[in-house]
Structure 1
């Protein structure tokens, strides 16, 4: 059985041109920073009028805990490639991975897990 991994790649735009800023602002509705979905292709979120930061959220399945770091590397590569492909300069990229099998269940999650036993 695979393990679900959530990867968050954060960074900031670095010296965007006026044309790039206009392009990103025009597409901002599709990149709402209040949306926290994790997808295989990655969900990009930003709020350029307020700050120059971006967040990419990726979901991935891995076979075991030893593969979690590689999921982070893949996600960072995808995010950087997406930005480079559009000519957006970025800096300060960081990656956080969460193995969902390691996240403690809340009250509702424990109740559901016990029901399945």
Structure 2
């Protein structure tokens, strides 16, 4: 049976020289992009805090067949984020990517207790 590994990918960067119209457009829908939300989705969850800060974060839920494929999941997420921004004409810079293989994250006390019940 093939099992995949859950990978959480965070893509961060900065908006770079948004026009007034672009800024207004993003600010108008800012409630849908709450920076305090830590939701990871297949489509990617975009968060920002404009006009206060020029930074954005995309959170993606990706999958990898094994640990060796985690870097590829990170690249896929980065491409999705960059394409999303490019399709809307938002210039960005200083893009960084962090991927976490959830199979490698140690279980906390509650997680160990729940795992022992199964």
TM-score (norm 2): 0.97
Q: Which runs of 5+ in 1 are unaligned?
A: none
**Structure 2 match to 1:82:** 84
> Match of 1:39, SS?
coil
Q: Which runs of 5+ in 2 are unaligned?
A: none
**Structure 2 match to 1:19:** 21
Equivalent pair of 2:23/2:51 in contact (CA under 8 Å): no
> Match of 1:5, SS?
strand
> Match of 2:24, SS?
helix
> Match of 2:12, SS?
strand
**Structure 2 match to 1:68:** 70
Q: Distance in 1 between matches of 2:39 and 2:56?
A: 14
**Structure 2 match to 1:41:** 43
Shift of 1:113: 0.8
TM-score (norm 1): 0.97
